[in-house]
């Protein structure tokens, strides 16, 4: 089995947690698709995160990609990182353990200062 650690990085309110929720839902890890604005996102568990509607602490979740005919099954550890500039040190710590980083850019907001 192949194992990869993938981190989602971007500026605040770009959709990192929403993307993570969608990936986990499509992989069958979640039965219900949570939303940050509804304060029921699976990865935003801290009371401060739910109250403020932002990710403050990096969170991890596991999902499995099914084996392809020519490749083995892959287990992904998905890291959702904070995007707010005040918590950038938390996101920088997550970089040390990543195999891959996915830069998320909001289609409506475009590239922001902290991107």
Whether 64 is in a domain gets the answer yes
State mean pLDDT over 74-79: 94
Q: Check which CATH number belongs to the domain holding 73 and give it.
A: 3.40.50.300
pLDDT tens-digit series, residues 37-66: 888 888 888 888 888 888 888 999 999 988
State the pTM of this model: 0.86
Mean pLDDT of the chain: 89
Whether 108 is in a domain gets the answer no
Task: Name the region of 12 (left: φ>0; alpha: ψ -120 to 50; beta: rest).
Answer: beta
**Antiparallel, parallel or unpaired: β 100-103 and 2-9:** parallel
pLDDT over 70 for what percent of the chain? 100
- Residue 95 banded pLDDT, cuts 50, 70, 90: very high
Q: Which residues pair with 79 in a beta bridge?
A: 7, 60
Domain that residue 64 falls in: 2-103
Least confident of 20-24, 30-34, 67-71: 67-71
Whether 94 is in a domain gets the answer yes
Whether 6 is in a domain gets the answer yes
The structural domain count of the chain equals 1
């Amino acid at each position: 089995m192949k194992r990869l650690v993938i981190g989602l990085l971007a500026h605040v309110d770009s959709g990192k947690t929403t993307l993570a929720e969608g990936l986990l839902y499509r992989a069958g890890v979640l039965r219900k698709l949570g939303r940050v604005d509804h304060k029921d996102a699976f990865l935003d568990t801290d009371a401060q995160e739910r109250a403020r509607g932002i990710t403050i602490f990096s969170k991890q979740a596991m999902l499995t990609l099914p084996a392809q005919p020519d490749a083995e099954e892959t287990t992904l550890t998905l890291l959702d990182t904070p995007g707010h500039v005040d918590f950038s040190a938390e996101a920088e710590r997550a970089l040390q353990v990543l195999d891959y980083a996915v830069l998320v850019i909001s289609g409506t907001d475009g590239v922001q200062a902290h991107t």
